[in-house]
C-alpha cells in the first residue's frame, strides 16, 4: 500500500518536473513595450522627421531650463570685452573663470557646451546615416534628400560653434558604434574647416529656398550658403596664405545670397522687434532658434533667460551687464539719428536711465518707461523719491527681453536669431572691403545703418576707415549675440582688447580658445 503511494507521488513529481523543465526558453526574449530600436525605427516619413527634430534639439545648448542661460550666455558672451559679469555672478566661480580666463582646470559651463553640441552632431549623424538609407517605397526620395541635407546643415552648424570656441575639435562624421570607435583624436583646424564648409555647401545644394508655414524655422538654402560664406570669411582671417582664395569664394557666396535675386531676405525696420518676441522669423532671419510658450502634451521650450539678463534694479538676477564703456562706445555718434535721437540700435540693445526711456507719451520700452519698469520691481513702494536708490550706472542688456506678458513671468520663449541678414550684409561688406572695394562695401554698411539705426549714410571712407566702421557697426548690431570675441580674434585684435578691458589673466596663446574639456579628455581613450 505504502509503496504504491510512493510510486504515485514519484510519478507526480517527475511529471511536474518534466512540464516545468520543458518551459519555453523563448520567454527569455523580452523587448521594450514602448520603444522602437535602431533596427526597426525609420519606418516612414514621420519617423524621419522625428529624427530631424532631435538633430535640432541641441541648438544653443538645448533649451534646458537653467543651462540655456547659464551655459550659452556665459560661454558666448562673458569673454567679450564689451560685457562684464553681473554682481550675483561673483558667487559662481565656474562662470567668472570664463570672464577672468582662469579656467585651466576644467570648467563646467565649457564642458556642458561641448557635450551639448556633440549631442547635436550625433543626432544629425543619425539623420544623415539612417534616414539616408531609407528606401524609396517608405519615403519620398525628394523629402529624404532634404532631410539628410538638413542633417548636414545642422552637423556643420554644431561643428562650427565648436570650432569657434576650441582650437581643435573632433570631427564626427558618423554615428559611433563602440567605445573603441568613440575614441577619436582631434582633427586639424584646416580639416575641420573643410568638413564644415563641405557640409554647408552640400546642404545648400538640396535645401529648399523657403519653408511652408508649418515648417517655418527650419533651415533653408539661403542660410546654408550664407554660413558657408561666413566660414570662408572667418577662415580668411586665420589662414593668411589662402586669404584671397577664401575671400573671393566668400564674395561669390555672399553675392548669391544678397544680389542674385534668388532669395527675399530684407532688413527689418524695427530693430528691437527682432529680439523681443514680437517679430519672430522675420524677413531678416536666416536662421533662428525656435522657442515656444506652448506646453501642450508636456512640451517645454522656454526658460528664465530674461531674468538672467536683467540687472537687479529691474528685478533680475544680475548675471551679466554691459561693460562700463559700452554705453559710451554705442552713443559715440551722439543723438545724430535722423529723428534726432541715438542710433536706434542703442535703445534696442541696452536699458539705461535716459530721457529716451522715460518718454511717457511714447514709451520705447515695450509699453513702459524705464521708471515704470523699475517701479514694477521695487516691491510696490516705488515713488520718484526712491530714484536715488537705483544705481543708474547699471546698464543692462535689452536684447532677448520679452515685450509681451512674459516679461513679468518666470519664463521667456522669445526666439533668438542665429544668423541675420544684417550680419550677411556686414560680412559681405567686410569681404568686399578686404578685396579692396571699400566703396561697394559702404553701400551695404549704409543699408544696415539707415534701416536699423535710422542713421545718416556714410561715404568716401578708405579701406581702413571702412574696416573701423565695420567693427563699430558690428558692435552696434550684435551686442549680446556672441560674436565679439570671435571678431576680435580673426581681426588679430584680441590681445589688445583684453588688455584694454583689464582682463589681466588673459594670455593670447592660452586663452584665444578654450582648452578641451577635461570631461572629454578623461572619457576619450584617444586623448587621455
List all residues 6 or more positions away from 174 whose beta carbon is below 8 Å from its beta carbon: 125, 129
How far apart, in whole angstroms, are the C-alpha atoms of residue 371 and residue 152? Answer: 48
Phi, psi of 351 (to 5 degrees): -120, 130
Within 58-140, where are the H helices? 67, 74-77, 93-100, 108-126
Ranges within 345-384 binding another protein (CB under 8 A): 379
Helix or strand (DSSP H, E) at 84: strand 83-85
133 is an interface residue for another protein by CB under 8 A: no
- Least separation, in Å, of the C-beta of 226 and another protein? 20
Segment interacting with another protein, rule: CB under 8 A, options 137-145, 223-231, 355-363, 403-411 = 403-411
29 is an interface residue for another protein by CB under 8 A: yes
- Least separation, in Å, of the C-beta of 345 and another protein? 21
36/190 with CB nearer another protein = 36
9 is an interface residue for another protein by CB under 8 A: yes
Ranges within 33-52 binding another protein (CB under 8 A): 33-39, 41, 47, 50-52
325 is an interface residue for another protein by CB under 8 A: no
Ranges within 487-516 binding another protein (CB under 8 A): 505, 507
Among 242, 467, 503, 519, binds another protein (CB under 8 A): 519
- Least separation, in Å, of the C-beta of 39 and another protein? 8
How far apart, in whole angstroms, are the C-alpha atoms of residue 452 and residue 294? Answer: 31
- Least separation, in Å, of the C-beta of 162 and another protein? 9
3-state secondary structure 270-296: CHHHHCCCCCCCCCCEEEEECCECCCH
Among 190, 294, 338, 508, binds another protein (CB under 8 A): 294
169/204 with CB nearer another protein = 169
For residue 49, give the C-alpha cell.
Answer: 522627421
- Least separation, in Å, of the C-beta of 428 and another protein? 28
How far apart, in whole angstroms, are the C-alpha atoms of residue 303 and residue 291? Answer: 9
Segment interacting with another protein, rule: CB under 8 A, options 31-39, 236-244, 255-263, 348-356 = 31-39
Handedness of CA 63, 64, 68, 71 (dihedral sign): negative
Among 143, 145, 206, 216, binds another protein (CB under 8 A): 216
- Least separation, in Å, of the C-beta of 298 and another protein? 5
56 is an interface residue for another protein by CB under 8 A: yes
Judged on CB neighbours under 10 Å (0-12, 13-18, 19+), 338 is exposed
115/343 with CB nearer another protein = 115
Ranges within 414-453 binding another protein (CB under 8 A): none
- Least separation, in Å, of the C-beta of 30 and another protein? 4
- Least separation, in Å, of the C-beta of 12 and another protein? 8
Ranges within 234-293 binding another protein (CB under 8 A): 277-281, 290-293
51/203 with CB nearer another protein = 51
Among 1, 4, 31, 384, binds another protein (CB under 8 A): 31
106/376 with CB nearer another protein = 106
Among 1, 20, 360, 361, binds another protein (CB under 8 A): 20
Extended strands (E) in 327-392: 350-351
- Least separation, in Å, of the C-beta of 324 and another protein? 12
Segment interacting with another protein, rule: CB under 8 A, options 63-71, 197-205, 227-235, 341-349 = 63-71
How far apart, in whole angstroms, are the C-alpha atoms of residue 224 and residue 526? Answer: 32
List all residues 6 or more positions away from 320 whose beta carbon is below 8 Å from its beta carbon: 73, 74, 77, 78, 83, 84, 85, 86, 89, 308, 309, 397
How far apart, in whole angstroms, are the C-alpha atoms of residue 424 and residue 267? Answer: 10
List all residues 6 or more positions away from 521 whose beta carbon is below 8 Å from its beta carbon: 527, 528
Among 44, 295, 335, 464, binds another protein (CB under 8 A): 295
- Least separation, in Å, of the C-beta of 132 and another protein? 15
- Least separation, in Å, of the C-beta of 54 and another protein? 3
294/496 with CB nearer another protein = 294
332/507 with CB nearer another protein = 507
How far apart, in whole angstroms, are the C-alpha atoms of residue 476 and residue 126? Answer: 39
- Least separation, in Å, of the C-beta of 62 and another protein? 4
Instruction: Sort strands 350-351 and 416-420 into parallel, antiparallel or unpaired.
Output: unpaired
Ranges within 92-131 binding another protein (CB under 8 A): 92-94, 96-97, 100, 102, 104-108, 111-112, 114-115, 118-123, 125-126
Residues in contact with another protein, counted by CB under 8 A, come to a total of 129
Print the binding letters for residues 169-188 with another protein: x by CB under 8 A, - otherwise.
Answer: xx-x---xxxxxxxxx----
How far apart, in whole angstroms, are the C-alpha atoms of residue 104 and residue 516? Answer: 10
Ranges within 383-402 binding another protein (CB under 8 A): none
Angle at 451 between CA 446 and CA 457, to 5 degrees: 30
Helix or strand (DSSP H, E) at 321: strand 320-322
User: Strand, coil or helix: what is 303?
Assistant: strand
Nearest to 433 by CA among 473, 395, 465, 398: 465
How far apart, in whole angstroms, are the C-alpha atoms of residue 4 and residue 11? Answer: 11
- Least separation, in Å, of the C-beta of 183 and another protein? 6
Instruction: Sort strands 416-420 and 285-289 into parallel, antiparallel or unpaired.
Output: antiparallel
Amino acid at each position: 500500500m505504502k509503496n504504491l503511494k510512493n510510486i504515485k507521488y514519484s510519478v507526480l513529481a517527475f511529471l511536474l518536473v518534466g512540464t516545468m523543465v520543458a518551459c519555453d526558453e523563448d520567454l527569455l526574449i523580452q523587448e521594450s513595450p514602448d520603444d522602437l530600436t535602431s533596427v526597426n525605427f525609420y519606418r516612414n516619413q514621420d519617423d524621419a522627421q522625428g529624427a530631424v527634430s532631435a538633430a535640432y534639439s541641441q541648438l544653443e545648448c538645448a533649451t534646458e531650463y537653467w543651462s540655456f542661460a547659464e551655459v550659452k550666455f556665459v560661454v558666448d558672451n562673458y569673454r567679450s570685452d564689451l560685457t562684464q559679469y553681473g554682481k550675483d555672478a561673483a558667487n559662481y566661480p565656474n562662470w567668472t573663470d570664463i570672464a577672468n580666463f582662469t579656467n585651466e582646470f576644467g570648467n563646467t559651463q565649457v564642458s556642458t557646451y561641448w557635450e551639448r553640441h556633440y549631442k547635436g552632431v550625433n543626432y544629425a549623424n543619425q539623420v544623415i546615416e539612417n534616414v539616408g538609407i531609407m528606401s524609396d517605397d517608405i519615403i519620398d526620395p525628394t523629402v529624404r534628400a532634404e532631410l539628410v541635407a538638413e542633417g548636414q546643415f545642422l552637423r556643420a552648424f554644431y561643428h562650427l560653434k565648436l570650432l569657434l570656441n576650441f582650437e581643435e575639435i573632433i570631427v564626427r562624421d558618423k554615428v559611433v558604434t563602440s567605445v573603441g570607435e568613440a575614441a577619436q583624436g582631434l582633427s586639424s583646424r584646416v580639416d575641420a574647416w573643410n568638413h564644415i564648409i563641405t557640409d554647408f555647401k552640400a546642404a545648400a545644394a538640396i535645401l529648399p529656398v523657403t519653408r511652408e508655414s508649418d515648417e517655418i524655422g527650419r533651415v533653408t538654402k539661403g542660410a546654408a550658403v550664407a554660413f558657408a560664406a561666413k566660414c570662408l570669411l572667418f577662415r580668411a582671417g586665420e589662414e593668411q596664405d589662402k586669404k584671397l582664395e577664401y575671400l573671393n569664394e566668400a564674395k561669390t557666396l555672399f553675392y548669391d545670397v544678397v544680389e542674385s535675386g534668388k532669395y527675399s531676405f530684407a532688413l527689418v525696420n524695427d530693430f528691437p522687434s527682432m529680439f523681443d518676441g514680437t517679430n519672430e522669423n522675420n524677413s531678416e532671419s536666416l536662421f533662428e532658434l525656435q522657442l515656444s510658450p506652448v506646453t501642450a502634451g508636456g512640451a517645454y521650450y522656454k526658460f528664465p533667460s530674461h531674468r538672467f539678463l536683467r540687472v537687479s534694479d529691474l528685478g533680475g538676477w544680475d548675471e551679466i551687464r554691459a561693460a562700463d564703456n559700452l554705453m559710451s562706445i554705442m552713443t559715440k555718434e551722439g543723438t545724430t539719428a535722423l529723428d534726432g535721437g541715438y542710433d536706434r540700435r542703442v535703445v534696442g540693445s541696452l536699458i539705461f536711465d535716459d530721457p529716451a526711456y522715460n518718454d511717457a507719451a511714447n514709451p520705447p520700452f515695450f509699453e513702459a518707461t524705464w521708471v515704470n519698469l523699475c517701479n514694477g520691481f521695487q516691491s510696490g513702494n516705488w515713488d520718484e523719491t526712491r530714484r536715488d536708490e537705483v544705481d543708474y550706472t547699471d546698464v543692462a542688456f535689452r536684447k532677448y527681453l520679452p515685450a509681451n506678458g512674459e516679461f513679468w513671468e518666470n519664463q521667456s520663449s522669445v526666439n533668438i536669431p542665429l544668423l541675420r541678414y544684417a550680419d550677411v550684409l556686414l560680412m559681405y561688406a567686410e569681404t568686399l572691403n578686404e578685396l579692396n572695394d571699400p566703396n561697394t562695401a559702404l553701400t551695404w554698411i549704409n543699408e544696415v545703418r539707415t534701416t536699423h539705426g535710422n542713421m545718416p549714410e556714410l561715404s568716401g571712407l578708405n579701406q581702413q576707415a571702412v574696416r573701423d566702421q565695420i567693427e563699430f557697426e558690428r558692435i552696434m548690431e550684435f551686442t549680446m549675440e556672441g560674436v565679439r570675441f570671435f571678431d576680435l580674434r580673426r581681426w588679430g585684435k584680441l590681445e589688445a582688447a583684453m588688455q584694454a578691458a583689464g582682463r589681466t589673466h588673459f594670455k593670447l596663446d592660452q586663452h584665444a580658445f578654450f582648452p578641451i574639456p577635461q570631461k572629454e579628455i578623461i572619457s576619450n581613450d584617444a586623448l587621455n
